[in-house]
């Protein structure tokens, strides 16, 4: 690490409250999941056999695991294909101001899509939907269906966004096609750092070409989530291991289009919340405080258009005010 980067990290430690100072950069975590296996109807995910995840994931627990880390708000992202779980999450979110928005699960192209979109959009916490490689769905194939594309236009016209799920090269290529068909739709690509194998990222690959094309389209954001990876059964905790891929995302999408997301509690598979945060905190604070503020909260405002719910949350278009 050179002297400039080192000084940036030292300054970043202070800005994030290492030591006695309270954090001065608020964090909006744009990717958490909420569920409760104790419900009479249970949950579609996670499975009962998943000992790490099969326990309630609710706002009070999230507050506990993020205490002292500067997290002041979060966007909940769907983890259920059950229609009424959209309402269940909104009801849970209404009771805790740490949730500043939700990304629901609706199926474009279905006869009742617009009716359900109107229903849930009445709640200002409902910020968009997720669609992609999840729940046996196929964005690549459905882009050829007129009703599917028309419903995504309705989503865009409502001022809402689309998260994509679990990327692979065909999905990223499909996002390019989608932005051609619905250019006013804001899109957030989830979990891109986890896309494997590494050879897909090489210069001149189809994936790299698609990413560079998306880098030209200002309505497309990338969520830097699911960063941590295992090598030989061990989770790597050194930034230099992750730096090449983070550098590639930075070079393509720049400081205005990258978002912080933890993927909690799914992130528990790789490590504690603080471990998940530490890698990206070190990387983005070395870019300077202004870039870190964009990554940790300002870009999320542009992507999700969430509204402030608590005094310690930043004011979209400004800073933190009571």
* Assigned token pair, 303: 């992507």
Q: Are 61 and 96 in contact (CB under 8 A)?
A: no
Residue 7 has pLDDT above 80, yes or no: no
Region 6-25: mean pLDDT is 51
Strand pairing report for 230-231 and 234-235: antiparallel
Of 105-109, 161-165, 301-305, 316-320, the one with minimum mean pLDDT is 316-320
Q: Are 103 and 97 in contact (CB under 8 A)?
A: no
Per-residue pLDDT reduced to its tens digit, 41-62: 999 999 999 999 999 999 999 9
Region 314-319: mean pLDDT is 77
Percent of residues, the chain, with pLDDT higher than 70:
90
| Selection from 69, 1, 16 nearest residue 267 by Cα | 69
Residue 18 — pLDDT band, cuts 50, 70, 90?
Answer: very low
Q: Higher pLDDT residue, 232 or 92?
A: 92
Give residue for tokens 């619905």: 182
Q: Are 186 and 161 in contact (CB under 8 A)?
A: yes
> What is the C-alpha to C-alpha distance for residues 251 and 235, in angstroms, rounded to an integer?
25
Sign of CA dihedral 285, 288, 292, 295: negative
Per-residue pLDDT reduced to its tens digit, 198-209: 667 777 788 999
Q: Are 113 and 77 in contact (CB under 8 A)?
A: no
Of 56-65, 165-174, 175-184, 312-321, the one with minimum mean pLDDT is 312-321
Residue 6 has pLDDT above 60, yes or no: no
Identify the pLDDT of residue 316: 83
Region 91-98: mean pLDDT is 98
Instruction: Using a cut of 0.75, tell me whether the model's pTM lies above it.
Output: yes
Identify the pLDDT of residue 21: 45
């Amino acid at each position: 690490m050179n002297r400039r980067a080192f000084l940036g990290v030292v300054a970043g430690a202070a800005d994030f409250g290492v030591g006695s100072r309270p954090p001065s950069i608020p964090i909006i975590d744009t990717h958490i999941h909420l569920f409760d296996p104790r419900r009479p109807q249970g949950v579609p995910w996670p499975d009962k056999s998943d000992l790490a995840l099969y326990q309630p994931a609710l706002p009070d627990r999230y507050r506990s695991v993020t205490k002292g880390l500067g997290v002041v708000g979060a966007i909940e992202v769907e983890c259920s294909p059950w229609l009424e779980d959209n309402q269940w999450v909104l009801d849970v979110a209404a009771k805790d101001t740490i949730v500043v928005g939700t990304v629901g699960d609706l199926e474009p192209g279905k006869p009742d899509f617009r009716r359900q979109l109107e229903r849930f959009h009445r709640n200002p916490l409902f910020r968009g939907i997720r669609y992609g490689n999840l729940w046996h769905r196929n964005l690549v194939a459905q882009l050829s269906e007129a009703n599917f594309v028309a419903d995504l236009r309705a989503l865009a016209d409502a001022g809402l966004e689309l998260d994509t799920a679990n990327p692979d090269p065909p999905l990223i290529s499909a996002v390019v096609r989608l932005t051609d068909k619905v250019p006013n739709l804001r899109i957030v690509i989830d979990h891109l750092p986890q896309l494997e194998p590494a050879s897909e990222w090489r210069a001149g690959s189809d994936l790299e070409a698609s990413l560079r094309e998306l880098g030209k389209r200002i309505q497309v954001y990338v969520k830097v989530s699911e960063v941590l990876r295992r090598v030989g059964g061990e989770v790597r905790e050194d930034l230099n291991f992750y730096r090449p891929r983070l550098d590639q995302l930075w070079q393509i999408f720049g400081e205005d289009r990258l978002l912080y997301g933890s993927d909690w509690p799914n992130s528990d598979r790789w490590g504690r919340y603080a471990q998940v945060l530490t890698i990206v905190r070190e990387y983005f604070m070395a870019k300077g405080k202004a870039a870190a503020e964009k990554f940790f909260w300002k870009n999320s405002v542009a992507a999700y258009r969430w509204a402030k719910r608590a005094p310690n949350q930043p004011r979209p278009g400004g800073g933190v005010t009571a």
